[in-house]
Homo-oligomer: A and B are copies of this chain.
Amino acid sequence: MTNPLLEKAESFIHQYCQEMNIGPAEKEKRIEEVQNSILTTGTYSHTTSELQFGARAAWRNSNRCIGRLFWNSLQLFDARDALSKEEVKEALFNHIDYATNDGKIRSTVTIFAPREKNKGPIRIFNHQLIRYAGYVKENGEVIGDPHSISFTQFCESLGWRGKGTKYDVLPLVVQLHEGEPFYFNLPPDMIKEVVIKHRSIPEIDELQLKWYAVPIISDMKLEIGGIDYIAAPFNGWYMETEIAARNFADEKRYHELPSVAEKMGLSTKLASNLWKDRAIIELNQAVLDSFKQAGVSMVDHHTAGNQFALFEEKEALEGREVTGDWSWLVPPVSPASSHIFHKRYKNTWNSPNFLYQPSFIK
C-alpha cells in the first residue's frame, strides 16, 4: 500500500541529504524517523535545517520568478510554535521589520505551523502583508486598488474602516484554530513607502503616486516534502515593472497611463503616437529613480534578466534543469530585449514549491 505523504517525505529527505552532503548513515536514520512518525502519527515534522532548505528550494523551483539567482540566501523565520494571537502578530511584525531593514530589503520567509488533517491552525487572509485597500463608491467608481476590493469588503465586515484614500494600508487578517477571523492594523511607522517622482518631468509628481517598499506574498501555500505550510509569507524586493507597468498601468488596477500621458503633455488620441508606451517607460523610470533615491532595494528588468541568465548558468553547472513559466518570466516592458524572450522553458512544477490555494474568505 502506498502512502503519498511517505513517498513525498522520503523523496524530499533524499534531495535534502544529497544537496546538503549528508552521508548515508545519517540519512537512513532520518528516513526511519520520518517513516515511524508518519506511520504512528500520520505526519512528521521538519527540522529547522530541512525547513530552510525546503523554502530555498521552493524559491528555486518557482517557475514564474525571475529573481531566483539569490535563492540560497533566503532568510527563514521558523514560527511553527507561534500559536497565540500575540505570537502570530509578533512573528508577522518581525517579518516586516526584518525584511524591510530600512530599505536594504532582505529576502525572507516566515513559516507557521502547517495544515494538519485539513485543519489550518493559522490562516492569513491577506494577499500581501502590505497592500492598499480598494473601495467601490455608489456610482461604481473605485478608489484605491481594484485588486483589493473583495478583501477590503471582508475587512469591513470584520469592523475595519479605512480612511478612503487611494493608498490605505489594509489590516492583517488572521484566523487561529478555526476560530473567528480577526484583524489588526500595522503600525504606520513599520510600513516603508516610496513617493514617486520623475527625474525631469515634475508634472508626473503631481499625480502623488506612491507604493510600498516590500512585496510580501502571504496567500500562497509552501509545500515541502508533502507538508502544506498554508501560512508562509515570503518577500524579495520589487522589479520596477511590477509597480510601474502593472500595478499603476493595468486598466483593472490603478489605470494611471492616461493621467501620466496628460502630465507628459502627450495627446492620447492616436494609439500610433505610442503615448501608452511612452507613459509606461517614464513611469518605470520614475519608480526606479524614486526607490533608488529612497534607498529601497529594487531591480530593473534588464538587470533582472541578466541575473536570471546567471542563475541559469549556475544551475546548469549543478546539473539541474531550470524550469520556468515563459509567460510570467518575460518582463512586461520591452520583453524581446531579454534573453528569456528568445528561449523556451519547461513549465514542470517541481517540489518543494509555492502554490496557489483557495481563498480563505467564505
Segment at the interface with B among A2-10, A80-88, A329-337: A329-337
Q: What 1/0 flags go to A270-300 for Cβ under 8 Å of B? A: 0111101110110011001000100000001
Q: Judge whether A249 is part of the interface by a CB distance below 8 angstroms.
A: yes
A95 to chain B, nearest CB (A): 28
| Contact A337–B274 (Cβ < 8 Å) | no
Q: Judge whether A94 is part of the interface by a CB distance below 8 angstroms.
A: no
A258 to chain B, nearest CB (A): 12
Please, how many angstroms separate the alpha-carbon atoms of A249 and B341 in the complex? 13
Q: Judge whether A257 is part of the interface by a CB distance below 8 angstroms.
A: yes
Please, how many angstroms separate the alpha-carbon atoms of A300 and B245 in the complex? 19
Which residues of A, 302-316, contact B by the 8 Å Cβ criterion? 302-303, 306
Please, how many angstroms separate the alpha-carbon atoms of A280 and B302 in the complex? 14
| Contact B327–A257 (Cβ < 8 Å) | no
| Contact A257–B337 (Cβ < 8 Å) | yes
Name the residue of chain B whose CB is nearest to the CB of A341: B332
| Contact A302–B281 (Cβ < 8 Å) | no
Name the residue of chain B whose CB is nearest to the CB of A303: B271
Please, how many angstroms separate the alpha-carbon atoms of A257 and B272 in the complex? 20
Name the residue of chain B whose CB is nearest to the CB of A289: B272
| Contact B300–A274 (Cβ < 8 Å) | yes
| Contact A300–B272 (Cβ < 8 Å) | yes
- Count of this chain's copies in the oligomeric assembly: 2
Q: Judge whether A151 is part of the interface by a CB distance below 8 angstroms.
A: no
Please, how many angstroms separate the alpha-carbon atoms of A302 and B252 in the complex? 17
> Main SS of chain A's interface residues?
helix
Please, how many angstroms separate the alpha-carbon atoms of A250 and B288 in the complex? 25
Please, how many angstroms separate the alpha-carbon atoms of A274 and B327 in the complex? 22
A307 to chain B, nearest CB (A): 11
Q: Which of A278, A300, A333, A337 has the most CB of B within 10 A?
A: A337
Q: Judge whether A167 is part of the interface by a CB distance below 8 angstroms.
A: no
Q: A302 touches which one: B271, B288, B303, B333 (CB < 8 A)? A: B271
Q: A337 touches which one: B277, B285, B306, B337 (CB < 8 A)? A: B277
Please, how many angstroms separate the alpha-carbon atoms of A284 and B281 in the complex? 14
- Given A272-B292, A277-B337, A281-B281, output 14 extra A-B contacts at Cβ < 8 Å: A245-B336, A252-B342, A271-B300, A272-B300, A273-B285, A274-B284, A274-B288, A276-B302, A276-B334, A277-B284, A280-B337, A332-B334, A332-B335, A332-B341
* A residues with CB within 8 A of B: 245-246, 249-250, 252, 257, 271-274, 276-278, 280-281, 284-285, 288, 292, 300, 302-303, 306, 326-327, 330, 332-337, 341-342
A-B contact pairs, 20 of them (CB 8 A): A245-B336, A249-B337, A252-B342, A257-B337, A271-B302, A272-B288, A272-B300, A274-B281, A274-B284, A274-B285, A276-B302, A276-B334, A277-B281, A277-B333, A277-B337, A280-B334, A326-B327, A327-B327, A332-B336, A333-B334
